[in-house]
Amino acid sequence: MLTKDKIIGIFCFIDDLLKTSNHYEDGRRQVSDSEVITTAIVSSLYFGGHQDKARQFMKMTGMIPGILDKSRFNRRLHQVAELIYSLFMQIGYYFKYVSCEMSYVLDSFPVAVCDNIRIANSKILQGKQWHGKQSSMRRYFYGVKVQLLVTKDGIPVEFGFVPGSEHDAQALKKLPMELPAESEVFADSAYTNYEIEDQLMETDLIALKVHRKSNAKRIDSVSAAFIKECMRKRIETTISEIKGLFLRKLHAVTFKGWLLK
């Protein structure tokens, strides 16, 4: 349920993060970056990513009376896109290092730009690299894969976007994987890559525990396979909760704007 206290809490949290990171902005601005980011977060949590509805809500309720018009708000939001990512990384750092979290789960999920029948008319994306397959659902999609790393309690700490056709084992190389030494990362069989497993263990002391197929070169014991399966259920719940916040269709003019939503 959306309440005034929740919005104030989100704003204070964002504003404090920006202050601690020594973020600078022009003091002549009537609407701060904290207010822009807060409005974007409110749109994601309560308006299905519909930023204009969130902008109107913030103005009508008096939370941000001088909120920017639609065009200027979008421009400001695009300007702080990298800042939003850095704030996410700061929060992720807290859960990884300050709280001494040692167990993580890795998985991916697709986000389609359009239906397959409309690929030829797509203006946001073009190219075969975006045409991927979701094996679990036995369907194809046209868009990106979101690589998501969460704690054992389902809290996201790292994420990344890759083209839909890119295999999860290859996409693994693009994640920061900045984790405490002796951490465990559980993943499904799609992330099978013995070279990366050995490299993570040798250089970073991170144990990548991938669910093994029946024909895998490295076989799990019954107990190890059971633990891996139990750990993966948490991220499936997290992904469902994230996708539950999406609108049926994400409207955007540019690819950057689409990724931002």
Residue 261 pLDDT greater than 90, yes or no: no
Please check whether residues 251 and 126 belong to one and the same domain.
yes
State the pLDDT at residue 37: 95
Please check whether residues 151 and 201 belong to one and the same domain.
yes
- Most distant CA atoms of the chain, gap in Å: 64
Please check whether residues 77 and 119 belong to one and the same domain.
no
**Across the chain, what does the average pLDDT equal?**
88
Please check whether residues 162 and 243 belong to one and the same domain.
yes
138-155 average pLDDT score: 90
Please check whether residues 163 and 39 belong to one and the same domain.
no
Please check whether residues 33 and 52 belong to one and the same domain.
yes
State the pLDDT at residue 135: 75
Please check whether residues 131 and 170 belong to one and the same domain.
yes
Q: How far apart are CA 193 and CA 200, in angstroms?
A: 11
Domain boundary among 94, 127, 153: 94
Q: How far apart are CA 15 and CA 11, in angstroms?
A: 6
Domain boundary among 73, 94, 115: 94
Q: Domain span at residue 73?
A: 4-94
12-27 average pLDDT score: 88
Per-residue pLDDT reduced to its tens digit, 65-91: 899 999 999 999 999 999 999 999 989
pTM metric for this prediction = 0.88
State the pLDDT at residue 145: 94
Residue 22 pLDDT greater than 90, yes or no: no
Least confident of 84-98, 182-196, 247-261: 247-261
Please check whether residues 55 and 136 belong to one and the same domain.
no
Please check whether residues 137 and 251 belong to one and the same domain.
yes
User: What distances in angstroms separate CA 39 from CA 9, 14, 26, 150, one per listed residue?
Assistant: 12, 11, 19, 25
What confidence tier does 39 reach under pLDDT thresholds 50, 70, 90? very high
Please check whether residues 179 and 147 belong to one and the same domain.
yes
Domain boundary among 94, 114, 136: 94
Most confident of 24-28, 210-214, 234-238: 234-238
Q: Among candidates 218, 157, 159, which has minimal Cα distance to 192?
A: 218
Q: How far apart are CA 144 and CA 164, in angstroms?
A: 4
State the pLDDT at residue 172: 85
Q: How far apart are CA 95 and CA 11, in angstroms?
A: 20
Nearest 5 degrees, angle CA 27-CA 32-CA 37? 155
Please check whether residues 220 and 111 belong to one and the same domain.
yes
216-220 average pLDDT score: 83
Q: For the chain, what is the domain count? A: 2
State the pLDDT at residue 222: 82
Are 160 and 174 a contacting pair, CB within 8 Å? yes
Read off the tokens for 27.
């003091």
Residue 10 pLDDT greater than 90, yes or no: yes
Half-sphere exposure in the Cβ direction for 72 (13 Å, CA): 9
Please check whether residues 135 and 72 belong to one and the same domain.
no
